[in-house]
């Protein structure tokens, strides 16, 4: 329970929700919406081992590959790999969110979305990082839970609902009923894997070597999970593996769908698998409420139709699918009494400050 003092504090405090995604980091502030949306990159100066840039600027450095700077993606595989880097990122985000307020207010309360299935040690690391990065109170929430809240699913109600959050590094499936999670699944197949599929396909079928950024562009431009009303093509530039020379190949959306088919199948199987373990009455609920898709990966063309057809439950992409986790995390503090039981443990204010 919040004490009366906490409640009073809450009225004047900055409440922020943070989505530490494998691909993108977002911050939402109560009353303002999304204030930060940047790639999850951190640039570290090799000599001093100090983080020097975070977000878009760090990603820019990454593409230029400077020799005295190490650019890391600390959350790439959905796991928080390094405490200092995560702390630097959180510090940057909290400071930036704080900067945008006009009145002097106490240090913020922060809810951080973490991939489901992270270890207790990792949870502790994120929590400590948030506190040492300047949060007055920190709370953790599993990303699919935050995504479901952000997408407006009735997670507090008795009836069942289902979210599939497809990010860069992980796809998380969660089924809710009776105010909590009943079933959850997390796999390491999501947007990044699709990019790798395209890199592999271009190499094997066209002898063309391309990088992941190019593959991602191809995926976004012509990728799909279901036949398109009008199939298209686009030129893809890379290096011919036989001649070693630059080359451009015209590739069709049909080919790219084939390239992505393995990953898409794994995604669909993961959903089927979760449904297999779901009690029948709950499945009946889901047939009414449908499956809500969130995360950048859910924007792959035709994924809704593909899921609808394969699992026989209607799939729909949430509004503003890429911001669901940050918005959902931010909303927890607004409705703390009802939503607190959906938090992922480790909730506490900092006492040492």
Residues that bind Mg ion (CB under 5 A): 21, 167, 295
What is the Cα–Cα distance from 334 to 47, expressed in whole angstroms?
43
What is the Cα–Cα distance from 301 to 120, expressed in whole angstroms?
36
Cβ at position 221, least distance to ligand ADP in Å: 9
Residue 14 vs 112, nearer CB to ligand ADP:
112
Residue 51 vs 78, nearer CB to ligand ADP:
78
Which residues are within 8 A (CB) of 58 and not within 5 positions of it... i.e. 6 or more apart?
A: 39, 41, 42, 43, 71
Cβ at position 19, least distance to ligand ADP in Å: 6
What is the greatest pairwise CA distance in the chain?
72
Number of Cβ atoms within 10 Å of the Cβ of 308: 16
Say which entry of ligand ADP, Mg ion, none residue 160 contacts (CB below 5 to 8 A, set by partner kind).
none
Say which entry of Mg ion, ligand ADP, none residue 24 contacts (CB below 5 to 8 A, set by partner kind).
ligand ADP
Cβ at position 282, least distance to ligand ADP in Å: 26
Cβ at position 212, least distance to ligand ADP in Å: 9
Residue 189 vs 259, nearer CB to Mg ion:
189
Among all residues, whose Cβ is closest to Mg ion?
A: 167
Residue 86 vs 253, nearer CB to Mg ion:
86
Residue 21 vs 55, nearer CB to ligand ADP:
21
Say which entry of Mg ion, ligand ADP, none residue 192 contacts (CB below 5 to 8 A, set by partner kind).
ligand ADP
Q: What is the DSSP letter of 107?
A: P
Say which entry of ligand ADP, Mg ion, none residue 247 contacts (CB below 5 to 8 A, set by partner kind).
none
Binding stretches for ligand ADP (CB under 6 A): 21-24, 167-169, 191-192, 216, 219-220, 223, 295-297, 299-300, 322
Say which entry of Mg ion, ligand ADP, none residue 113 contacts (CB below 5 to 8 A, set by partner kind).
none
Say which entry of Mg ion, ligand ADP, none residue 322 contacts (CB below 5 to 8 A, set by partner kind).
ligand ADP
Q: Is the dihedral of CA 91, 96, 97, 98 positive or negative?
A: positive
Cβ at position 46, least distance to ligand ADP in Å: 26
Say which entry of Mg ion, ligand ADP, none residue 302 contacts (CB below 5 to 8 A, set by partner kind).
none
Burial track 8-31 (b if 16+ CB lie within 10 A, e otherwise):
ebbeebbbbbbbbbbbbbbbbbbe
Burial track 330-351 (b if 16+ CB lie within 10 A, e otherwise):
bbbbeebeebeebbbebeeeee
Spatial CA neighbour of 175 closest among 167, 166, 187, 185: 185
Residue 91 vs 301, nearer CB to ligand ADP:
301
Say which entry of ligand ADP, Mg ion, none residue 23 contacts (CB below 5 to 8 A, set by partner kind).
ligand ADP
Cβ at position 279, least distance to Mg ion in Å: 28
CA dihedral 221, 298, 271, 168 (to 10 degrees): 90
Token output for 147: 């995504």
Which residues are within 8 A (CB) of 23 and not within 5 positions of it... i.e. 6 or more apart?
A: 39, 40, 167, 168, 169, 191, 192, 296
Residue 51 vs 295, nearer CB to Mg ion:
295
What is the Cα–Cα distance from 228 to 230, expressed in whole angstroms?
5
């Amino acid at each position: 329970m919040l004490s009366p003092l906490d409640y009073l504090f809450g009225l004047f405090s900055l409440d922020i929700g943070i989505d530490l995604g494998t691909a993108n980091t977002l911050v939402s502030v109560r009353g303002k919406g999304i204030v930060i949306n940047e790639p999850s990159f951190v640039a570290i100066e090799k000599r001093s081992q100090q983080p020097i840039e975070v977000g878009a600027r760090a990603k820019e450095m990454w593409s230029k590959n400077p020799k005295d700077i190490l650019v890391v993606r600390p959350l790439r595989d959905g796991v928080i790999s390094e405490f200092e880097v995560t702390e630097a990122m959180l510090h940057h985000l909290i400071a930036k969110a704080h900067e945008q307020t006009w009145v002097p207010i106490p240090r913020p309360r922060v809810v951080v979305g973490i991939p489901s299935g992270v270890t207790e040690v990792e949870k502790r690391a994120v929590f400590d990082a948030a506190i040492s990065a300047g949060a007055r109170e920190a709370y953790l929430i599993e990303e699919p839970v935050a995504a479901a809240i952000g997408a407006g699913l009735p997670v507090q109600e008795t009836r069942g609902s289902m979210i599939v959050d497809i990010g860069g590094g992980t796809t998380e499936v969660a089924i809710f009923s009776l105010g909590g999670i009943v079933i959850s699944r997390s796999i390491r197949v999501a947007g990044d894997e699709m990019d790798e599929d395209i890199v592999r396909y271009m190499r094997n079928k066209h002898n063309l070597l391309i990088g992941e950024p190019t593959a991602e562009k191809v995926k976004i431009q012509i990728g799909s999970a279901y036949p398109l009303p009008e199939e298209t093509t686009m030129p893809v530039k890379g290096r011919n593996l036989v001649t070693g020379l630059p080359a451009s190949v015209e590739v069709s959306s049909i080919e790219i769908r084939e390239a992505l088919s393995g990953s898409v199948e794994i995604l669909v199987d993961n959903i089927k698998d979760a449904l297999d373990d779901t009690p029948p009455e709950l499945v009946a609920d889901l047939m009414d409420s449908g499956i809500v898709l969130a995360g950048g990966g859910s924007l792959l063309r035709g994924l809704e139709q593909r899921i609808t057809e394969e699992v026989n439950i209607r799939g729909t992409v949430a509004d503003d699918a890429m911001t669901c986790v940050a918005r959902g995390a931010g909303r927890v503090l607004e409705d703390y009494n009802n939503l607190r039981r959906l938090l992922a443990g480790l909730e506490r204010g900092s006492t040492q400050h």
